[in-house]
Structure 1
Amino acid sequence: MSSQRIQPPALLFIEGDLTIRRVQELKDVLLARLAQSQALEVDLAGVTEIDTAGAQLLLMARRAAQASRKELRLGACSPAVAALFALLRIE
């Protein structure tokens, strides 16, 4: 029998706007945290506003994680995030 130590994912909390005004700043943070971890959970419960640029950033991060064989999870979503995800049919 063998066992592997499973590390919990790193957590990243995004609060406030997730809009075009902050995309570059958040992209740098998101990619840096993803590079440091095998798994990253992004908590979106504190996001007060999100636009399509914010959604595009999250989809780009998901693709980057898949390309590097890492895991990216979207955790709790605020009502604003849930509404946009439903509109765009993002799961």
Structure 2
Amino acid sequence: MKLTSQPDGNGGLSIHIDGDLTIYEAAEARASLLALIDGVRSVELDLADVGDIDSAGLQLLLATARTLGGCLTLVHASGAVVEAIGLLGLGPRLPIARAA
């Protein structure tokens, strides 16, 4: 799993996740993601290239949203992400601005 980031010029950050977001990657992703968002006002998280996501990955997204005080926007979510969020009824807590 690879994270790439780019500042948006307004105190926010755009982060692209490439790879799976499962229990096997979640611990590594958590440390990297928290380091990236430290001191950032808002984050746009591009999930277009997330191939697989499980409950650990969803917990990471929820924790990130909580850390940012709700200033997390999910964009370009892959089919796997859209399906997982829908199956668990997390749409209100993890709204997807734009699906892939």
Q: Which bracket does the TM-score occupy, shorter chain normalised?
A: 0.7 to 0.9
**Alignment partner of 1:46 is 2:55:** no
Match of 1:88 in 2: 88
TM-score (norm 1): 0.82
TM-score (norm 2): 0.76
Match of 1:37 in 2: 40
Please tell me the residue identity of whatever aligns with 1:53. Answer: A
Q: Distance in 2 between matches of 1:10 and 1:34?
A: 8
1:33, 1:40 within 8 Å by CA — same for their partners in 2? no
Higher relative contact order (CA 8 A, sep 6+): 1
Which structure has the larger Rg over C-alpha atoms?
A: 1
**Secondary structure at 2:10's aligned position in 1?**
coil
Q: Distance in 1 between matches of 2:47 and 2:10?
A: 21
Q: Distance in 2 between matches of 1:82 and 1:72?
A: 16
**Alignment partner of 1:62 is 2:65:** yes
